[in-house]
Amino acid sequence: MQRPDTQTYAQQFPKLPPTATDAQGHLVYTQFIDGGFTRAGGARLATSDPVTGRQWASIARGTAQDVDTAVQAAHRAFTRGAWPAMNASQRGALLRRIGDLVAEHAEWLAHVEQRDNGKLSAELSMQMRYMANYYYYYGGLADKMEGTVIPTDKPGVFNYTVYEPLGVVACITPWNSPLPLASMKIAPALAAGNTVVLKPSEFTSASLLELMKLFQLAGVPEGVVNVVTGLGAEVGATLVDHPLVQRIAFTGGPEAGQRINEQAASRMKRVTLELGGKSPNIVFDDADFEQALKGAVAGIFAASGQTCVAGSRLLLQDGIHDRFLERLVEIAGSARFGHPADPQTQVAPISTAPQLGKIESYVQVALADGARLVAGGKRAHVPECPDGLFFQPTIFADVDNRMRIAQEEVFGPILSVIRFKDEDEAVAIANDVDFGLAAGVWTTSMPRALRMAGKVRAGTVWVNNYRSTSVTSPFGGFKMSGVGRECGIAGMREYMEIKSVWLSMETDIPNPFVRR
């Protein structure tokens, strides 16, 4: 199956200005700084299609100077001009216009994102349509972050609080869901009145730059949102360290997150860090067997396991363990590979070649540690995509929770199956890991469901479902899974300072040497 040519596809969206091409026909993306796209000069990085393994575009390899230019532009936009002159209701209206444009161009954004990361059209279409809700929700919330009047115990003074923006916010996003994860940060940051400099993954920058065309159409003032592309060590680290950046919002791996946290702490910067997980998906004997089976598949093999909430540890109670594992192996072996644009395809490619290599290495790690391979374990050859980066859905049985395959995030379609005997052991295994992003519990017992939700150390606990999320509900992790929350009202407050104001109602201070 062939997807539509990108340039031909773009003709369906005449509002969008075209992207330049080079002599080989590759799209040439430039950085977006101070309200416009820069020239294409300087070093460049190739961006490849994981379905074909071939280059289809290139992005600018940003420098420290590019970062400074973007941050300075964002700082100017924050301190003077059209943006600070807008009130909260006007910011909200602007965000809703962006939401309308995102909804109108969802098909185009999904097409570009698929060229970059190879995700299934079925999932991308849903994600792009839903993405408009980030701008609608925070557009509606922009003028509703109310302060309070505090009835203090101090006579003669009036005390109230207000929420204020921080300033320049740095957003750093990964390659697995570039647009949704960026919008999850951009929308509340702008609703709060901040300005943004965004650094996308060097593997998946094109869709973010296409999104900036919609920001232009919506009338976002110059410098309010900027995109600097390039490598983490050259662009990301410089952005985190810039003295004018007040907050860093990062989604990615724990090692990079730790470095960012340490770097930010040296300047007392605030951080929001979502650093992945090793999430337990716990199935009890009394669960609805078929629903739990679907939940286990969705938890690890959806998006080829390339999701931070992947249920990569499947905990099965003794009474159902063998039958459940047998059925799971059957499903994994019958999964349909193919072009991600084909609605019949169930397994899409791995997004990047380095990630494919990492997944392969963890298969060897698991085997060396004594896990038993019962499904998959190697690359998949797909005739219609012979050069695609496909990997088989992989299942390891007889996994001990102390094995590396059960402790370290793989970020791929590799499932570790762990047996447990009772509720206490399930809780002990579930919590015996450095991460705490999400967990699933499958049971028909409401008391058990409530007990497990209270005992499992995770920021999100799904009961009899898996991977449900909403812009209205806070999302984030415990332990090494991160700091802070995204989405919901809690996500908005991450981008604001609370200020306490004291007004004296007295005409005379009796003794200035004594604290009141």
Residues 6+ apart with CB under 8 A from 336: 344, 345, 346, 347
| Selected catalytic residue, list 171, 308, 385, 487 | 308
Q: What is the pLDDT of residue 42?
A: 85
Flag residues of the chain having pLDDT under 70.
Answer: 1-4, 516
Within 8 A by CB and 6+ apart from 217, the residues are 15, 16, 101
Identify the pLDDT of residue 41. Answer: 79
pLDDT, residue 514, reads 82
Residue 202: active-site member: no
pLDDT in tens, 263-312: 999 999 999 999 999 999 999 999 999 999 999 999 999 999 999 999 99
Task: Identify the pLDDT of residue 509.
Answer: 79
What is the structure's pLDDT at 506? 86
Which pLDDT does position 496 carry in this prediction?
Answer: 98
Rounded Cα–Cα distance for residues 108 and 8 (Å)? 11
Q: What pLDDT is attached to residue 439?
A: 98
Quote the CA–CA distance of 474 and 158 in Å, as a whole number.
33
Instruction: Name the active-site residue from 113, 210, 234, 274.
Output: 274
- The rounded percent of the chain whose pLDDT value lies above 70 is 99
Answer yes or no: pTM beyond 0.85: yes
Would residue 487 show up in a list of annotated catalytic residues for this protein? no
* Residue pLDDT, tens place only, 427-463: 999 999 999 999 999 999 999 999 999 999 999 999 9
Residue 3: predicted pLDDT: 67
Pairing of strands 54-60, 44-49: antiparallel
φ and ψ at residue 260, rounded to 5 degrees: -65, -45
Q: How far apart (Å, rounded) are the C-alpha atoms in residues 128 and 300?
A: 21
Distance CA 199, CA 193 (A): 19
